[in-house]
Amino acid sequence: MSASIQALKVTPRYKTPENWSSRPIRIVVLGAGGNGSEVVDCLSSMHCGIRSLGHPYGLHVTVIDDAVVRESNLVRQRFWPCDLGQYKAVVLANRYNLNLGLDWVGLPHRFPCEQTRFSMSSADLIISCVDVNSARMAICEYNGLKYNAMWLDMGNSHRHGQVVFGSLRENERKVYPNVLDIYPEIADIADSNTKSCSAAESIASQDCLINRTVATAAMNIVWELLRTGSTDRNWITVSLETGEQQTHSFPS
Could you read off the pLDDT of 192-245 as tens digits, one per residue?
A: 666 654 454 454 567 889 999 999 999 999 999 999 999 999 999 999 999 999
Burial of 36 (0-12, 13-18, 19+ CB in 10 A): buried
How many residues belong to the chain?
A: 252
Per-residue pLDDT of 55-114, as tens digits, reads: 999 999 999 999 999 999 998 899 999 999 999 999 999 999 999 999 999 999 999 999
Burial of 252 (0-12, 13-18, 19+ CB in 10 A): exposed
pTM over 0.85: yes
Q: Which domains does the chain have, with CATH numbers?
A: 18-188+195-249 (3.40.50.720)
Per-residue pLDDT of 113-160, as tens digits, reads: 999 999 999 999 999 999 889 999 999 999 999 989 999 999 999 899
Contact 219, 228 (CB under 8 A): no
Mean pLDDT of the chain: 91
Q: What is the mean pLDDT of residues 160-178?
A: 95
Q: How far is CA 181 from CA 6, 143, 154, 235, in A?
A: 29, 18, 14, 11
- Rg from Cα positions in the chain: 19
* DSSP character at residue 202: H
Contact 166, 177 (CB under 8 A): yes
pLDDT at 35: 96
Strands 230-231 and 14-15: antiparallel
